[in-house]
Each structure stands twice: as structure tokens, then as C-alpha cells.
Amino acid sequence: MILITGATGQFGKLTIDFLLQKGVQPSEILALVRTEAAGNSFQERGIGIRVADYNDKDSLLRAFQGVTKLLFVSSSDLANRLQQHKNVVEAAAEIGVGHVVYTSFQRKNNSETSPLWQVAESHLATENWIKASGLNYTILKNNLYLDFVPGFIGEKVLETGVIYVPAGTGKLSAVLRSDMA
């Protein structure tokens, strides 16, 4: 069984759609959702659900029963995700899921001097926990979502002619979220 966390989110939803397009049977897929109600749209398509929260390790232990492949989509809750990710990795290791695929990120700088440290810290810790867990793993070095670039450029770019990020000769290697999914 393949379990997708963050299944109600954009990356998780797209991944489930691509698995189905590739011929994976809905009965082989499980969607991790936070409430039963959020699982209705999956169940209507024959996809099973597991209800759990990254904040609640016991719920994760129940959700991971019988899972052979886990797509662990990083939490969107930056304030709490260090502990949340620890819960996920510990639960996956305790249950012994066959293989964990984690959505980490592409970077040049692994140190606290990184301007992205707020985002990077929990990704790096999670990578290390996964590597030390004894689980089989794949760490995806996802690029910045190209879908985010309009937000950096701003709505007034045609009027101002100014792009603030990336600045100067800075470069950006962005990829569509759907391509990474």
C-alpha cells in the first residue's frame, strides 16, 4: 500500500492523480487526511483513507500500519514542523514502512548562514533522522515551485518594471509543482 501524506494539499493531490494515471489501482493508494470529512473525495474514487495528524504520533502509528511505501510530504506548518517531522519519521521506523520518500528541497548552503534557514533547518534535521532510521529512503531535492514566482515578482511588475526576487544577477531554478509531483 502506498500512503500519501498531505493528500488534501496541492502536491499530495497531484501525486495521487499521477499515480492513478500511471495505472496504480485506487485500492493500492491510501490518503492521509486530518479529518474523516476531508477523506470523502478520496473514498468516492476508491482510495482508502487514514486519519492522522503530524502532531499526534499515536495517530501516525495507526495510519502507517500495512504501508509499504510512504510519500512524506513536508508539513506546511513551519512553526511546528521540526517536532511534527520527528513524529513522522519515528512512527514510520517503529512500524517499519518499506520505503519512505520525503519532499526535501534543493539548496547550496546547509548551514545556519543560509538565508533560507527558517525553511532549511527542519528539512535537514528530517533528512538526518530518515538516514539514521534504518528505513529505505528517497530524498527528493524539490526545487522552488515555479508556481510561487508570480508572488515574488508581484502584481505591479508591469507598472514598476522592478523584480525584487531574485535580485541583481541572482538566479532561480524553479520547477512547476506538477512536474515534481
Residue 103: CB minimum distance to ligand NAP, A: 6
158/167 with CB nearer ligand NAP:
167
7/135 with CB nearer ligand NAP:
7
Residue 159: CB minimum distance to ligand NAP, A: 26
Q: Which chain residues interact with ligand NAP by CB under 6 A? A: 6-12, 34, 38, 53-55, 73-77, 84, 103, 105, 142, 144-145, 148
Residue 63, helix vs strand vs coil: helix
Please give the residue whose beta carbon sits closest to ligand NAP in the complex.
9
The rounded distance, in Å, linking the Cα atoms of 128 and 120 is 12
41/133 with CB nearer ligand NAP:
41
55/133 with CB nearer ligand NAP:
55
